[in-house]
Chain A
């Protein structure tokens, strides 16, 4: 499935993603790692640990609706893979992000900008395996 190259929207969206990460550091003094937000909520030890994560996730979930209200269109979610691939991919994503202590937001955005050595290892690693996986699935197996 072809998608349209959107350099300006993507750059602007990226700026807002970065702004969100900076705001979280300013307010709560934490790295914005989405996997950490999920696991910190699902496996929370206390209400204090869970509450700010709930508030943050509510804010995130309101975003597409707000965009719909302003622009009249819902952000596109085109899923070119099967439900089985979503489940298998999701389990591997959760397992891998936990084992590797971070995902695209934690290592990619926050870690690289902090010049974290671990993130400079993690990000090229997951970028490479993602590209390799897509290559194998699309051009070798042909799924």
Chain B
């Protein structure tokens, strides 16, 4: 039941990503290209999503626990550190280069486009690189 629920969650999210235009790098890059072929659509994506989560999370948190687990697992840290800022800065640079972000690329795998597979493999490479550097203590590990 938990797995079916997770699958439906992914399907709803994926349909949203597809309809919104987030899985189209041309559209995403145009959102950032204010000086050129600007397409403000993605502001509406963020607005629509935040309206629903802003209200929906608060309704869900009235429950004592989620349906299929013993407790809500929400990040509690409020600490602003160098990793957060430099990580976010790098993330934006990568997003601006490739035009895909992970949440857009996962549903986009369903279109069968090889570029999407290439991007996901590269993201996994980046995640592995971070973990490798953390082991070497070159980058500090959160938590």
Contact = CB atoms under 8 A, between A and B. Distances in A.
Contacts of B32: 127, 130-131, 133-135
Contacts of A108: 46, 49
Contacts of A28: 2, 5-6, 66-69
Contacts of B26: 1, 3, 76, 78-80
Nearest to B42: A10
A17 B53 CA distance: 9
Interface residues of A, number: 114
Interface string B51-71: 111101101110101111101
A97 B78 CA distance: 17
A42 to B, nearest CB: 6
Contacts of B60: 22, 25-26
Considering residues A26, A42, A60, A80, which has the most beta carbons from chain B within 10 angstroms of its beta carbon? A60
A114 B54 CA distance: 7
A108 B22 CA distance: 13
Interface string A46-73: 0000011101111111111111000000
Contact of B126 (A37, A43, A93): A93
A38 B103 CA distance: 9
Contacts of A76: 21, 24, 26-27
Given A90-B122, A90-B126, A103-B103, A17 B17 contact: yes
A43 B126 CA distance: 13
A5 to B, nearest CB: 6
A131 B8 CA distance: 33
18 contacts: A3-B26, A3-B27, A12-B16, A17-B20, A17-B52, A27-B6, A27-B68, A28-B5, A34-B105, A63-B11, A64-B111, A94-B130, A96-B126, A104-B103, A114-B74, A118-B77, A130-B96, A135-B35
